[in-house]
Chain A
Amino acid sequence: MYAQAQTWWIILRICLEERLVYRADFALGTLMRFLPIVTQIFLWGAIFTAVRGDVAGYSYHDFIAYYLLTMVTRAFSSMPGLASGIAREIREGTVKKFLIQPIDMIGFLLLNRLAHKLVYYGVAIGPFALVFYLCRHYFPPPPDPATIAAFAASLAMAFLLGFFLEATIGLIGFWFLEVSSLLFVYMLFNFFFSGHMFPLDMLPPPWSIIVDALPLKYLAYFPAAVWLGKVEGSQLMRELWIQAGWVVFFMLACRVAFQRGVQRYSGFGG
């Protein structure tokens, strides 16, 4: 047990060091990710000169706060290169290193991603703090501790959900080899139906019903909505449970896909 923990600790440390090699690129990339927010600030600013009152229950300030909060949630849930990386390892055969070594592939990737995220937060906290400080007057007063706890829980689960969902898509590579078009479709749906592009409660039915039934909204919309007080009380608890349900579902789906995939897989050569 101790030896196992030590192995994972070393893996985490190696991944951390590997990530820190490119820290300047990281910091620059993070700052640039805020550029689209700038156009959103101006777009919604212009839109709000033509309306009186709210749009779908959001004031202009709520919109900006919403977009900034989805940046935070996406920092937890987005997994750049995860699915395509898994599919590439399957296609090129390098996946067999996980099959012959006593290391669980999904566990390794999870730790790798955790290291990536930890480094990312370490570097990104600077740009994030700067932008949030500059935009502080867009935010409503901070919510009560219970809501903050729910927000933290939803963020942690957004990370897990994003990881297991993308890993599952990557593992489909055992069957299709090339998953890039599938990934494109996923990315497309993710962009629009996770709430990255606009608050999902703007949608009229039947779209709102469809979006409610999908797990994507827990990747960006839900944590932001929790902070802004759009989801409260018993509904908040129910949604948190649904999010946890999705995490478990994709955790299992990922396991099943890996096991079935390995049975199908055949590796040749050195």
Chain B
Amino acid sequence: MILHLALLVGLVLFSVLAILARDLIKSAICLAAASLLLGIIFFRMGAPYAGVFEISVVAGLITVLFILTIALTKTEGDVRESKLVRMVFPLFFVIFALIDALVMKGLLAKIPMLESAARGGTFSDVLWRERTFDLVGQIAVILAGVFAVLALFRKRDPHD
């Protein structure tokens, strides 16, 4: 339980650093560290495939995409954030954490849960047999992403 709690605290800490850091590269690296911790949490919850996806895709690929974008847009100069943002954040976060700690347990007890029994089998059984339509959706989403990027970086036709 203590390790689980430490991982969760680290996850929130790195996410806060990713939001508040001045340097964009540092933000991207903090986000990757948060993804790494989330992947470890997934492993500990008994979801190794989700953990592998989180670490390899989110901590790896998305960080590379972020750093590439930061490098491509670096020449455009820095955007000044409001100073109030960093000053107000601790107060805002402490108030939220208090409300969260006081209310969350009672709130979750009030939400009715749907009937469901513990499921046996393996992950591949669930993914390939029961959630087959999700896989079709995933393929469609990936294709949509590829075509969107292709459309956005299309070269202008000289005849236009």
A binds B: no
Binding site for A on B (CB under 8 A): none
